[in-house]
Amino acid sequence: MPFGTVTLNDGNQMPTIAFGTGSKWKGQDVTDYVSSAIESGFSHIDTAQFYANESSVAAAIRQSGLARSDFFVTTKWSARAGVRSSLEDSLAKLELKQVDLYLIHNPNHMKGIEAAWEEFEVIKKDGLAKSVGVSNFDLEQMQNLMKTAKIIPAANQIEFHPYNYAENKGLLEYCAKHGVVVEAYSSLRPITTYPGGPVDKPVEAAAKRLGATPTQVILSWVKSKGVVIVTTSSSKEHMQEYLAVGDLPPLTDEEVTAIDEAGAKGPPLARTTLLVRKW
């Protein structure tokens, strides 16, 4: 079936695939790309204060002519200014009165996370964000935040793919226990960054069985973990390829296990690069 929604721990609904405007799009006008994504069928748009392109996201949404209720908009706080003033600035650029999801972008670039989260809780209560969450939090950081949080984060957006699944397994289990939805970015690294690695063989085998592309198999693998996909492309063809994953039969348990085990081996390059958290 097509991509649907997941119920967050505060009762709000979030589409399970999002078009991201980070990566190589930082600081660029993404109006045309977001417009293509909307035309292709994306309703969840993911941006951030740090990306410096919220205004062009707004332009694409405005030009679509669709209602605000047709979109789920995520943006993130980068700690360059106070939480509330940053969100108010983002809302102005996004031409919105409320974002659907507001995230702490990266705990490694800021101090006083607990105090910041208290401000996030106020923002949610005041209605400036329907849901609040975090991004790039590892297991220890999640555990520390949960010691003082009165509102449990609705989501944790992390880099997630077969080559870092083993190191993130505990985090996924912890988030599931507390009702925190995990979102994945950079899931296609086995193809874009680490081609020729151990994951290629089981991915290609599954692709052959399904009549799908390796890209679609990796995104199907992400789905199998109950993780929301955040992906991007400048190509409408690729956007449609991503969305078509929702119509594919699921991977078998054997295929998922084979990808898990291959990913645990990891290409040599991955051993030294996967520990670097990205914005």
Helix intervals (H) in 105-186: 113-126, 139-148, 165-177
pLDDT value at 153 more than 70: yes
Q: In whole angstroms, give the CA distance from residue 275 to residue 258.
A: 23
pLDDT value at 227 more than 60: yes
Average pLDDT over residues 204-214: 98
Of the candidates 33, 51, 194, 242, the residue annotated as catalytic is: 51
User: Which residue would you say has higher pLDDT here, 81 or 30?
Assistant: 30
Helices and strands of the chain, counted as H and E runs: 12, 10
C-beta of residue 3 within 8 angstroms of C-beta of residue 27: no
Which domains are delineated in the chain? 8-193+226-248 (3.20.20.100)
* pLDDT tens digits, 82-140: 999 999 999 999 999 999 999 999 998 788 899 999 999 999 999 999 999 999 999 99
* pLDDT tens digits, 30-58: 999 999 999 999 999 999 999 999 999 99
Q: Is 51 a catalytic residue?
A: yes
Q: In which band, very low, low, confident or very high, does the pLDDT at 68 lie, cut at 50, 70 and 90? A: very high
Residue 259, SS3 per DSSP:
helix
Instruction: Write the CA distances from 188 to 125, 162, 191, 213, integer angstroms.
Output: 36, 9, 6, 12
Residues 6+ apart with CB under 8 A from 11: none
- This prediction's pTM: 0.94
Q: In which band, very low, low, confident or very high, does the pLDDT at 23 lie, cut at 50, 70 and 90? A: confident
pLDDT value at 76 more than 60: yes
Residues 6+ apart with CB under 8 A from 91: 97, 98, 99, 128
105 is in an annotated binding site: yes
Q: In which band, very low, low, confident or very high, does the pLDDT at 271 lie, cut at 50, 70 and 90? A: very low
pLDDT, position 150: 98
pLDDT, position 1: 54
User: Considering only 70-74, 107-111, 196-200, 214-218, which range has the smallest mean pLDDT?
Assistant: 107-111
Q: H or E element: which one contains 158?
A: strand 155-159
pLDDT, position 111: 85
C-beta of residue 91 within 8 angstroms of C-beta of residue 62: no
What average pLDDT does the chain have?
A: 94
